[in-house]
Structure 1
Amino acid sequence: MVEEDIDVVLQKLGFGRMQFIIFFGCAIQQWYVSNEQFGSGIAGVAAGCDLNIDDERSSWMIASIFTSQILSSNVWGFLSDEIGRRKQMLIAAAMTMILSSISALMPNFWLFLANRFLVGCFVTGLAQAVLTYVSEFTQISLRPRIIIFVCYFIGLSMIYVPAIAMLLLPQPAVRISRYISMSSWRLLLWMNLFPGLIAFVLIYSMPESPKYYLSVDKHDEAYAVLNWCCRLNKGKDVTLQSLGIDRIALPRLRRSTMPIRITSRYCSKLERLWLSAKPLVQGHNRRYMGLCVTLCFTLYSTGFGLTVWAPRIVRITQRVEENKAILCDLMHIYSKLNITEVELCRLDFFILRSYMIYGCICLGTFMLISLLLMRFHRKTILILFSSVSVIAGLLLNVARGYYVLLICYVLLCVPPLCTLHMVLSVIIDVIPTRLRSKAVAFSMMIGRVGTLMATLYVGYTFTNNCFITFNAYVIIMIVSLILILLLPKDTDDIGTD
């Protein structure tokens, strides 16, 4: 009986029809995830008049969304490694779409807030399962490129949501009951669901990850999935057996002798969660988890933390008529002008257009990364983009002029935003299958902590201590650059699984 390593089998099967179907389903799912994460912010602002959302309540909503994602991340990572990637995605997707559609009907702020908190809990499981699932059907050498291709749909979402908002938000509300008026922001939340519905149908028709099956000792099921993949990729008459493969192996397979405490029925859920994740901080895994988790914190805080404030920066640089001033001087002038919005709930064409332009820049950056991956190592690209971010942050201290300032700001926050998924691809490569979802979940959880801290930090300091605010991010990106130098090169030092 010929036993073959699963990564060798995936390399022999290549990237064919099966992988394309799975990639397309996961990419559409990523589109929906981004719609929920990005669209809730736009819908929240647009709902300001209907639900009486002032600045304080906006802060509550942002904090609650991030908190729900932070609290639920590790639970979803544990579930994914226990029940499977596909099953987790289907549960998380169904609950996210149901709760999101219900949130569009909420008559007051507190019910809307509670509902969006629950949406955040479930969309977290969806976000982290997508990367794990698509990577486990892809040969190691193609994983970074495939993950970046999936990220194209993040940029697409950042264009789609404001484009739909431009069409819907100017439309008048239609009252359907005494307590609920069918406002345009409610329709926007429903329009964001369409990619999720398509993705749910596609993923429902897909098989479970063969690596997950092997990690739970279901060899026959894993063989059947790869055999189906073989027929789709090579032709219906070609099977694994015809290729001389009788059995699939996973070198870093889950040990059959699990600790008694984990399998005991008397073990608490929290204790089981800790014991199952404990190997992440032991042995070979400790170094790479430490590096990747810290990088997720720094890249999330710079990328997402500054992106949240991008429209505000655009508005300030446009309104203040001091074109020769540096950014921090503009902030100081703006704070003295005491400018307020005409309407709290108003999202004008200029702001929505800025969102779309930013989305186009992110999409273009993802495309550039995918092209660079054809010639350069993943580590080299991370070094290059982090260096660009550091230089742009330093230039913000001296740059003058509307367009120059915006270019420097974009170059500070877009590179870390667009490269953080490459760091997650390192985790997927170096961590064994039985721990992979937990590792991705924990890294994304720490990243979201960084985003929340960065959002609050910028909000409290960027008008009063602008110089400290932006130079702190330069220091953060320098730290990121040092950590990246310690990462492995693509397949160097990466164990098979």
Structure 2
Amino acid sequence: MIYVPVVALILMYSKIHVHVWENYAITNWRVLILVNLLPGIIGVCLLYRIPESPKYYLSVHKHAEAMAVLEKCCRANKGKNVTLASLGVEKVTQPRLSDYEIQHNGFTSLWYDTVPLFKGEYLRYMILTSISTYILFGAGFGLTIWVLRIRFISQQIVGNMILCDLLDQSQNSNITLEQVCDINLDSMMVSIVQACTTLTVLIIITILLLFLTRRTILLIFTLLGAFVGCLLNFVQLDAVIIAVFIMFIVLPLCCLRLAISILIDLVPTHLRAKGVAVIFLVGRIGVMTSSLFVGYTLKFCCLGTFNAFVLGLLVAAIMIFLLPTEYYIKHRDDKNA
């Protein structure tokens, strides 16, 4: 989030034009796209070097592969002459292993990996997590595209007014975005500020994890996001509106990984991949739904549009509150072990 706008700032003022063939040339836009690929390429290379999780191997009944990875970790940590056998470790296991061999043939694998998530106690966990992440995704990603729009409108309209009055005034004044793509320092700085705010909130969450449980942190930040959303009904200064709107987006955005991590601890290892995939699918639907909701309702009831997201965050807080506590998760696993 910081890297992309910073690189864009550096490249957009450069005059890169290398003719390659006929009408094709390497320009600053093409260089920008290539440079933006670098983090993904580096990530793939790093992931390729990381061994598979021993917990995953155990969950799919591949004990020899799990022991091999642990043997490698043992030698890396204790020295080349140290082995698991020399430490008295002959075998390993984990709680809540599956009762069947994981199938790897198409729809059979999909069935065995997905259906158990919607049975018994896991059904409750999936419903609670799906509703909360649906709302967090919708608020965190669905409203992001409106930051620059609001910034542009606030620059065109003179006078202090609340956000919805600002948007109504822009519609009455027929203010539209310029057809020519003009990326400037001001628009990039808004994105950089949003990214730095996200990083700051994530650092705060990391520090709070030393003292508070994940569910408590989620409740605090979700309720704080709802409170910040309520402020959009009152704040009037342009800079304050932008700051409040960014916080309204960032707070639920930073809660997403923490909410999904609770689900990861609640379901067995062999069900986690499909569980997270289902949750992300629901989250993407939340982004699409929130974008459509804003697009269809903003002109008719602006206050109702943004306050609906506030209400949604309150619902998400209730869903998070109904999730099991850290104490329950820890003692359940100890009992199963």
The two structures have a TM-score, normalised by structure 1, of 0.63
The answer on 1:176 being equivalent to 2:13 is no
**Residue 309 (1) aligns with residue 309 (2):** no
Aligned-pair CA distance for 1:220: 1.3
1:222 aligns with 2:59: no
SS at 2:143's partner residue? helix
1:193 corresponds in structure 2 to 37
Moved over 6 A (4+): none
How many angstroms apart in 2 are the aligned matches of 1:490 and 1:232?
Answer: 32
Bigger Cα Rg: 2
Match of 2:249 among 410, 413, 418: 413
Aligned: 1:401 with 2:245? no
Q: Does 1:493 align with 2:329?
A: yes
| Residue 170 (structure 1) shift | 3.1
> Which amino acid in 1 is paired with 2:26?
M
Report the aligned-residue RMSD: 2.1
Q: Is the 8 A contact 1:303 1:414 kept in 2?
A: yes
| Deviation per residue, 1:99-141 (Å, 9 max, x gap) | xxxxxxxxxxxxxxxxxxxxxxxxxxxxxxxxxxxxxxxxxxx
Is residue 194 of structure 2 the alignment partner of residue 358 of structure 1?
A: yes
Relative distance call for 1:436 and 1:379 in structure 2 (3 A) is same
CA distance in 2, matches of 1:193, 1:216: 34
Q: 1:222 to 1:275 in 2, by over 3 A?
A: closer
| Contact persistence 2:147–2:242 (CA under 8 A) | no
Match of 1:231 among 75, 80, 83: 75
Shift of residue 237, structure 1, vs aligned partner: 4.0
Give the aligned residue type for 1:284.
Answer: E
Task: Report the counterpart of residue 7 of structure 2 in structure 1.
Answer: 164
Corresponding residue for 1:251? Answer: 95
Out of 274, 280, 283, the residue aligned to residue 447 of structure 1 is 283
User: 2:109 & 2:51 partners in 1: Cα distance?
Assistant: 27
Q: How far is 1:489 from its partner?
A: 2.3
**Residue aligning to 1:478:** 314
Q: Name the aligned partner's letter for residue 255 of structure 1.
A: D
- CA–CA distance in structure 2, aligned partners of residues 397 and 479 of structure 1: 20
Counterpart of 1:465, as a letter, is: C
Tell me if the contact between 1:308 and 1:455 (Cα under 8 Å) persists in the aligned partners: no
Give the distance between the partners of 1:257 and 1:406, measured in 2 at CA.
53
C-alpha separation in 2, matches of 1:212 and 1:419: 26
- How far is 1:298 from its partner? 0.6
**Match in the other structure for 1:32:** none
Q: Distance in 1 between matches of 2:83 and 2:173?
A: 72
Q: Deviations over 1:413-455 (max 9, x none)?
A: 1110001100110111111111110000010010011011112
1:390 maps to 226
Query: Are 1:332 and 1:464, in contact at CA under 8 Å, matched by a contact in 2?
Result: no
SS at match of 1:479: helix
Residue in 2 aligned with 1:41? none
Output one character per residue of 1:307-327: Cα deviation in whole Å (capped at 9) or x when no partner: 22212122222332122x111
Unaligned runs of 5+ residues in structure 2 are none
SS class of match (1:176): strand
